Amino acid sequence: MKTKLWNPCVYARNARYVSELGMPVLDLLDPQPGERVLDLGCGDGKLTMVLRDRGCQPVGIDSSGEFIAAARALGLDVRKQDARELHFENEFDAVFSNAVLHWIAEPDLVIGHVYRALRQGGRFVGEFGGFGNCRAIERALVDELELRGIDASMASPWYFPTTGEYQDKLVAAGFGVPYIELIPRPTPLPKGMPGFLETFADDFASLIAANQRGEFLAAVCDRLEPLLRRSNEWIADYVRLRFEACKS
Ligand code: BEZ
């Protein structure tokens, strides 16, 4: 199983906005004091901490040992675990996930594990990249790879489904789906496109020889500039898929 390597310092520098913009999905979860909540893909624990501050008993899991160390330093109950290998059964009132599910190419496996982890009546509330998310960025990465003679058809690690596709998967696992929506969300990038690519595009860049990666990433930025840069600000073409599913 492929697992992306994360650097918590790089993430905090370039992509803090990802957890900050996760507040609406946390509000959709509407966590109640005393609830046991699994934070699936807790990263460095910033939203797990909000769950704790709201009186929940959150448990975070993440496949990145570096992220788990950062979250543990905040005093959180977190475990290094891959979402494709969860073993919880009827334990949680809710499973919450922000900005993680697009990294996992086996959605049915994850949804099945989440269903098992929830108690009867529990809810699965999440948000991740939906159909069309960062399409211009993905296209530019693929085009620049192909310009260099690299077959980029399998390069993307990202899973950005339609609402129909994801709803079908949730229902097939046994969930009811009271809410699912695609939300276009043009997103200013605090560290520009270079910061975005440094944080999220290493699966593409790693196909290029190390001494040519700088030139490759600069070419991707040049290609995107007319599309995503306005008066000195980079705005990424995010589209979120937000949902609530219930185990009834
Ligand atoms: C994100 O988590 O913000 C993200 C990850 C991959 C592609 C686009 C966005």
Q: Which position has the higher pLDDT, 6 or 95?
A: 95
Residue 1 binned pLDDT confidence (cut-offs 50, 70, 90)? low
* Averaged pLDDT of the chain: 96
> Using CA positions, which residue lies closest to atom 6 of ligand 1?
200
Tokens 């334990």 locate to 91
Contacting residues for 82 by C-beta, under 8 A, at least 6 apart: 1, 3, 63
What is the arithmetic mean of pLDDT over 181-209?
A: 96
Which structure tokens are listed for 39? 């934070």
pLDDT at 231 over 90: no
The residue whose CB lies within 8 Å of the most ligand 1 atoms, and thus the one to mutate among 47, 104, 135, 158, is 158
Residue 2 binned pLDDT confidence (cut-offs 50, 70, 90)? low
What is the arithmetic mean of pLDDT over 76-105?
A: 97
- Over the chain, what HEC string results? CCCCCCCHHHHHHHHHHHHHCCHHHHHHHCCCCCCEEEEECCCCCHHHHHHHHCCCEEEEEECCHHHHHHHHCCCCCEEECCHHHCCCCCCEEEEEEECCHHHCCCHHHHHHHHHHHEEEEEEEEEEEECCCCCHHHHHHHHHHHHHCCCCCCCCCCCCCCCHHHHHHHHHHHCCEEEEEEEEEEEEECCCHHHHHHHHHCHHHHCCCCHHHHHHHHHHHHHHHHHHHEECCEEEEEEEEEEEEEECC
Ligand 1 atom nearest to CA at 18: 3
Residue 104: CB within 6 Å of ligand 1?
no
Ligand 1 atom nearest to CA at 99: 2
pLDDT at 180 over 70: yes
Q: How far is the CA of 99 from the centre of ligand 1 (A)?
A: 7
Percent of the chain clearing pLDDT 70 (strictly above)? 99
pLDDT of residue 203: 95
d(CA 229, CA 232): 6
d(CA 208, CA 231): 31
Q: How far is the CA of 200 from the centre of ligand 1 (A)?
A: 6
pLDDT at 226 over 70: yes
Nearest to 136 by CA among 219, 18, 245, 237: 237
pLDDT at 153 over 90: no
pLDDT of residue 3: 72
Q: How far is CA 151 from the centre of its chain?
A: 25
Gap between the terminal Cα atoms of the chain: 32
pTM of the model: 0.95
pLDDT of residue 5: 85
Residue 102: CB within 6 Å of ligand 1?
yes
| pLDDT single digits (tens) 209-225 | 999 999 999 999 999 99
Q: How far is the CA of 26 from the centre of ligand 1 (A)?
A: 18
What is the arithmetic mean of pLDDT over 2-28?
A: 90
pLDDT at 15 over 90: yes
